[in-house]
Amino acid sequence: MRIEIWSDIVCPWCAIGMKRFHKALEAFPHRDGVEVVLRSFELDPDSPADLGMPLDRMLSRKYGMTVEEAHAANARVAGLAAAEGLSFRMENTRPGNSFAAHRLVHLAAESGKASAVHQAFMKGYFCDGLAVGDPAALVAAAVEAGLERADALHVLGSEAYAEEVRADESRAAQFGITGVPFFAIEETWGISGAQPLEVFQEALASCWAKVEAATA
C-alpha cells in the first residue's frame, strides 16, 4: 500500500501530524507492506530565503493578530508538539523559503534517506534554530542525516531537483490539496491535517483491508 505525504519543512502541523502518523504506522501489523513517499509543498513559495523577522512577528503580519496573540498561538502548538515528544522552541525559528530544503529531500530520496533528512530539517527548524533558507545550514543538517556533502553542495549550486519539487506541487493542485499535511493513500483516500493517532490507525486498517479485497 502506497502513502504519499505532502508537507512543508516550516509547517508545525506537518511535524505533529507526521509524528502521529508514524506512531500509527509503527504499530500497524502490515507496516512492512506500506510504502511512504514524501512530497513537497510550500506554504509560502514567494518568501525570501531569510524572512528577516521572528515567527511571532511574521504570523502577526500574515494573519492580522497582535504579536502577543501570535506568541500565545505558538505556545499552544508547542504544547501539542510536546505531547508527541517534540521539543519545539518556536522563539528560535528562523522563517524563510523552504524550496532548497525540499530539493535536498528529493536528493535524499535517491538513496533512501528522504525521511531522515526531512526529519533533520524539521527538528533543526523547530527545535534548534536552523535557518531554513540558508544553504550552509541546510548542507550541514543534511550531512549529519547521512548525505554526502559534495552531493548536497552540488544540488544547491544548481537547479537540480527543482522540477521534482514543482511536479509535487502541481500534483497537489491536481488533487485539490490546499493545506498540509495531507496523506494520500493509493491515490484514492485522503487524510488532511494533523489528525489524532486513532484516525491514522483506523485509516491504515481500513484502507489495507480495501486494497487486499480489491487485489483478491
User: pLDDT per residue over 25-63, tens digit each?
Assistant: 999 999 999 999 999 999 999 999 999 999 999 999 989
pLDDT interval class at 140 (50, 70, 90):
very high
Give the pairing of strands 2-7 and 35-40.
parallel
CA atoms of 79 and 85, how far apart (whole Å): 10
Q: What is the pLDDT of residue 120?
A: 98
Average pLDDT of the chain to the nearest whole number? 97
89-116 confidence digits (pLDDT tens): 999 999 999 999 999 999 999 999 999 9
Fold type of domain 2-215: Glutaredoxin (3.40.30)
Grid cell at residue 192: 488532511
pTM of the model: 0.96
**Owner of C-alpha cell 484516525:** 199
* HSE-up of residue 152 (Cα within 13 Å, Cβ side): 25
CA atoms of 152 and 25, how far apart (whole Å): 30
